[in-house]
Chains A and B, each alone.
Chain A
């Protein structure tokens, strides 16, 4: 699960990491009031950042500066009017603009190949790390945490020195170890600071000092661990979750909406992807990825059918079940029940093999379903049905 920058920053603050202050605003007027408070505290400029769960906000015009409160309102409105990669901006983050001396990149990420947590840093911060990795891999420093004893202080020091942060050693070590601690505390796949920056900080009475601060934050949480962190569930952004995704999640189904016309219902993730691929290969376009999971019962099948039919573009359905734990006759009963309830009549091709396939075949024949023996045949039939529905 991805969470918004403001929420990610809250988690970092809870782990004691240095993050400059911010406020969230849902309207331009709220942004203006927030800005007033930051200007009163001595900020010379404020930064207004779109809160959307996609990358490339800056390029899309979703990150801007303002020099006074009224300007903040205008800028915030312009950002709230944006759509970034198809997602309307519904809120912005407002904070004092940092006086940046130098930007860095630092992240803790699950390295699946090494089966370890990887601490990754670069002295080239503020740009996309994938681009740095592709163009200048030498500019990226990588250090693995030990799988049993975790990241040690000497490793964090090594990272700091290799990034040229020797003058900020204590802060850099605290941040590096803090990223790994944050990852473990919340079961995150990724905790990324880009940029981590040396900034000039002026205090009321003293001279300007340089400090290391986390200016941005990106955290991705492990969906399999959310049950251990019920407090994080509220960070799920309802504005950015498709209603179909929510219904699927609540029904215990894995559903991903795509752009095509052929609805797919499959048991097993690998087979569900394969079914989509074969629809495409047969000349059609899959409307969704849908895994009903192992041992799916009739009610789950009916919920899956509702999800598929809720997409108005769907004009044919392909059901592909290879029964192992899942019993074919249970799925067949669910299909019969679902068809009796459904409001829209869409041609359906059903293929059920494996456990209790013979019983399923009898039920489907009695209910006059169109069936197919192989997956390739089923895909071809579904594509033909979809095409004749358009014609």
Chain B
């Protein structure tokens, strides 16, 4: 099964004819993902990825002609909230928004519209997701994965790669790896992903990679304490040395008014039964310590 995406996902790439979209669209295609359509207004009727994928003017056209059910958005920040809403309105059920630098207030109505349409948004400012051996949507390098049964969820990009590579090197494979994004307003939270993993028969253990800012890790930990009691769980929190009041790269990574600290998140996760690593390289061992067997 895996979560969010699998071998049957039919992906439309918004901005497939652009620089980022064509580079990552090609990588997704090469990984085996069913990239069925591109969407660039004004380029309908053309093809992309060396003639293998048709391009449409609207997402609605792409859905009608190709049965696309998953969006991957690479359009610039100014047009990205609109792209999210277009996907939702066209009936896309799983929308990945990779775009970084979207004004936070612009995402508020976009997220509300996605929810009203019964769809799911992952991101923005996220690396996407990979269900190893089945499909990848977004920009996570396919080479770092190994097929397996550990669900990975993270707010970060390259830090996720670091953790996943460490797991793969240690022989621990993944069911799905999801980057939920580093922005203040995102469509899918840690809690949402933990709930999906809990319901996935192919996920037997959880790795959560958080960072300073907000309280999403604490909220997820409280739920996990009750509902994932017997599931092996490991976590890593970035930003133990981050100073208060400074935005650490990600728009959402800020300690303010004494809240959002790494210490608070580590304490909440440990109380919920997560084994919290001091370095991402320790995650494989901690999973095994928690009773996980491949």
Contact = CB atoms under 8 A, between A and B. Distances in A.
A95 interface: no
Contact of B242 (A184, A276, A323): A276
Interface stretch (B64-72, B154-162, B284-292): B154-162
Q: How large is the interface on B (under 10, 10 to 19, 20 to 34, 35 or more residues)?
A: 35 or more
Nearest to A146: B112
B103 A325 contact: no
B252 interface: yes
B interface SS class: loop
A324 B156 contact: no
Given A130-B257, A256-B246, A376-B281, A271 B251 contact: no
A228 B103 contact: yes
Nearest to A186: B105
Interface string A225-244: 10010000000000000000
B252 A113 contact: no
Interface in B146-198: 154-162, 165, 182, 184-185
A14 B196 CA distance: 47
A323 B143 CA distance: 11
Given A112-B185, A130-B258, A353 B219 contact: no
Interface in A74-125: 110, 112-113, 115-117
Among A223, A258, A273, A286, the most chain B Cβ lie within 10 Å of the Cβ of A273
A152 interface: no
Contact of B248 (A224, A269, A278, A324): A269
Given A112-B252, A115-B111, A291-B249, A268 B158 contact: yes
Interface in B199-223: 209, 211-212, 214-216, 219
Interface string B32-68: 0000000000000000000000000000000000000
B104 A322 contact: no
A256 B242 CA distance: 10
Given A147-B111, A148-B109, A256-B246, A270 B140 contact: no
Interface stretch (B1-9, B88-96, B233-241, B268-276): B233-241
A322 B241 contact: no
Given A130-B257, A222-B103, A276-B241, A270 B159 contact: yes
Contacts of A276: 241-242
A341 interface: no
B248 A113 contact: no
A375 B155 CA distance: 19
Interface in B89-135: 101-109, 111-113, 127
A115 B185 contact: yes
B105 A273 contact: no
A294 interface: yes
A187 B278 CA distance: 37
A361 to B, nearest CB: 16
Contacts of A223: 247, 251
Interface in A262-306: 266-274, 276-281, 286, 289, 291, 294
A271 B214 contact: no
A112 B238 contact: no
Nearest to B108: A147
A189 to B, nearest CB: 7
B161 A112 contact: no
Contacts of A383: none
Contact of B212 (A115, A273, A376): A273
B105 A270 contact: no
Given A130-B258, A270-B154, A270-B238, A110 B141 contact: no
A46 to B, nearest CB: 31
A354 B141 contact: yes
Nearest to A225: B103
A27 interface: no
A280 to B, nearest CB: 5
Contacts of B212: 273
B228 interface: no
Nearest to B141: A324
A183 interface: yes
A117 B102 contact: no
B156 to A, nearest CB: 3
A202 interface: no
B139 interface: yes
Contacts of A294: 139, 157
A155 interface: no
Contact of A224 (B77, B111, B157): B77
A349 to B, nearest CB: 16
B216 A274 contact: no
A374 interface: yes
Contacts of B15: none
Given A113-B219, A375-B280, A224 B108 contact: no
B103 A224 contact: yes
Contacts of B250: 269-270
A254 interface: yes
A355 interface: yes
B231 interface: no
A271 B103 contact: no
29 contacts: A110-B105, A110-B185, A112-B104, A112-B185, A112-B214, A115-B108, A130-B257, A189-B104, A222-B104, A222-B251, A224-B77, A224-B102, A256-B243, A267-B158, A269-B156, A270-B155, A270-B157, A271-B158, A273-B238, A273-B241, A273-B249, A274-B279, A276-B242, A294-B157, A324-B139, A324-B158, A324-B161, A353-B165, A355-B141
Which 6 residue pairs spanning A and B have beta carbons closest together? A270-B156, A269-B249, A268-B158, A270-B159, A225-B103, A147-B112
Given A273-B239, A375-B280, 4 more contacts: A117-B105, A187-B104, A269-B249, A355-B141
